[in-house]
């Protein structure tokens, strides 16, 4: 059996919290018996392994232990118990720009980081042009880091990290920083690693990104592995769990999460001009339907200055945040290749029984990963059920009765009198 790229066994991490610095000193004195700290168990007996060429997502709420796990795997902190092993060259993207000297220029920081990663001067020189091209910093590469904006620091940090061409790439919320153009480049580079069979450990609050990028996923809860399975199964279970924690009406779906980076409108890229519910026959605006009606969503899509084929995603969400249905042209192999187009999604024989539903629209790239723009339909979908059916969906059904004992015969009293 092949050895895994990442192997974790009985991994634990406990932090000691002291009321003030003097408590730490007093507890460390010879003969001190009184415990003056509070133990916080960030990780408790974590076990899993990641095969080579697998992309694994890491999800969980704040305080679940995700960052602690990533810090241990990248060697920035040490476990209290258990152990782990990573095979091959490793690169991590935990905090972009961490380790940069603010008084050094961008170029000087490139060579300094290359030396820390074990590259020779000659190897660093070969990587320099690639890093500069990807970062798009131009002449700013000769300016001190302290003069950079946060976005420029992100560009340089990501460029330096991925230039090492690692066997194992560990990523923590990299897609939550920078502008849309930079996030797009990050996604493309990450996807290229995936296509080349590299091993990735990817942490994100965006369940959509985890579903699209990862093969499997780990759900962390209270420092423990709650679930480790196929990424679609894990994100569905985690989304269901999250929705039970709050009664507030919020749009929290696998397509767009509260903490995920939001699509940013840009004239350079494709956008949704307008979206509306229409009658599938007359194509006139209509938003009130009945169960088993045909429904149509009409979407006006316009490409930007930078032309590229796009995909469209449509969802029906109950007002309490429950996603009832979602469709994307990417899964149905329908690619929109036009400068401007009207895309109409037909939903025949709708099975929703009753209620009011929000209809958000997303515009995605050709691979169905990067989100260019988001826009809801002008009106909510209203389903009015005039029958006595109960529930959320109308389901097809068939009844079968298997008689185990015949019913007693009822005699005509007149016939026996």
Domains identified in the chain and CATH numbers? 6-89+166-244 (3.40.50.300), 271-383 (2.60.40.10)
pLDDT digits (tens, 9 = 90+) for 172-195: 766 555 567 777 777 788 888 888
pTM: 0.67
Question: Mean pLDDT over residues 131-154, rounded?
Answer: 87
Provide the pLDDT for residue 98: 63
Adjacency order of strands within the sheet including 340-347: 271-278, 295-302, 340-347
Provide the pLDDT for residue 261: 46
Q: How many CA atoms lie within 13 A of 288 on its CB side?
A: 3
Give the best-scoring range by mean pLDDT among 31-45, 47-61, 375-389: 47-61
Of 80 and 213, the structure prediction assigns the larger pLDDT to 80
Question: Mean pLDDT over residues 243-272, rounded?
Answer: 56
pLDDT digits (tens, 9 = 90+) for 75-112: 888 999 999 999 988 877 776 666 788 899 999 988 88
Arithmetic mean of pLDDT over the chain? 83
- Residue 321 banded pLDDT, cuts 50, 70, 90: confident
* 347 pLDDT higher than 80: yes
- Residue 1 banded pLDDT, cuts 50, 70, 90: low
Q: Note whether 79 and 12 are within 8 A (CB).
A: yes
Question: Mean pLDDT over residues 224-228, rounded?
Answer: 93
Provide the pLDDT for residue 251: 47
Provide the pLDDT for residue 253: 47
């Amino acid at each position: 059996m092949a050895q895994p790229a990442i192997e974790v066994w009985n991994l634990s991490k406990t932090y000691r919290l002291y009321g003030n610095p003097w408590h730490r000193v007093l507890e460390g004195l010879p003969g001190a018996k009184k415990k003056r700290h509070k133990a916080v168990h960030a990780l408790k007996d974590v076990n899993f392994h990641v095969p080579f060429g697998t992309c694994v997502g890491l999800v969980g709420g704040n305080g679940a232990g995700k960052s602690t796990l990533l810090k241990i795997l990248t060697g920035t902190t040490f476990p209290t118990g258990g152990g782990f092993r990573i095979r091959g060259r490793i690169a991590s993207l935990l905090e972009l720009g961490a380790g940069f000297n603010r008084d050094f220029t961008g170029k000087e920081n490139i060579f300094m980081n290359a030396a820390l990663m074990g590259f020779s001067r000659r190897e660093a020189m070969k990587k320099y042009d690639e890093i500069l091209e990807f970062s798009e910093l131009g002449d700013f590469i000769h300016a001190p880091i302290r003069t950079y904006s946060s976005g420029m620091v992100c560009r340089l940090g990501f460029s330096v990290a991925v230039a090492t061409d690692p066997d194992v790439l560990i990523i923590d919320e990299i897609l939550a920083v920078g502008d849309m153009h930079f996030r797009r480049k990050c996604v493309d580079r990450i996807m290229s690693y995936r296509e080349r069979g590299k091993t990735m450990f990817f942490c994100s609050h965006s369940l959509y990104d985890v579903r699209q990028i990862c093969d499997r996923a780990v759900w962390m809860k209270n420092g423990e592995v709650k679930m480790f399975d196929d990424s679609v199964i894990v994100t569905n279970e985690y989304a269901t769990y999250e929705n039970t924690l709050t009664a507030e009406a919020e749009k929290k779906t696998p397509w767009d999460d509260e903490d995920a980076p939001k699509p940013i409108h840009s004239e350079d890229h494709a956008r949704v001009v307008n979206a509306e519910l229409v009658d599938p026959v007359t194509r006139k605006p209509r938003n009130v339907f009945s169960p088993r009606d045909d429904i149509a969503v009409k979407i006006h899509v316009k490409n930007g200055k930078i032309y590229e084929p796009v995909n469209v995603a449509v969802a029906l969400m109950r007002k309490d945040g429950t996603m009832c249905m979602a469709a994307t042209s990417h899964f149905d192999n329908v690619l929109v290749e036009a400068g401007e187009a009207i895309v109409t999604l037909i939903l025949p024989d709708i099975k929703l029984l009753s209620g009011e539903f929000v209809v958000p629209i997303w515009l995605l790239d050709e691979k169905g990963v990067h989100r260019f723009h988001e826009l809801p339909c002008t009106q909510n979908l209203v389903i009015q059920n005039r029958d006595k059916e109960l529930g959320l969906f109308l389901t097809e059904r068939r009844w079968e009765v298997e008689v185990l004992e015949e019913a007693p015969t009822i005699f005509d009293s007149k016939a026996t009198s």
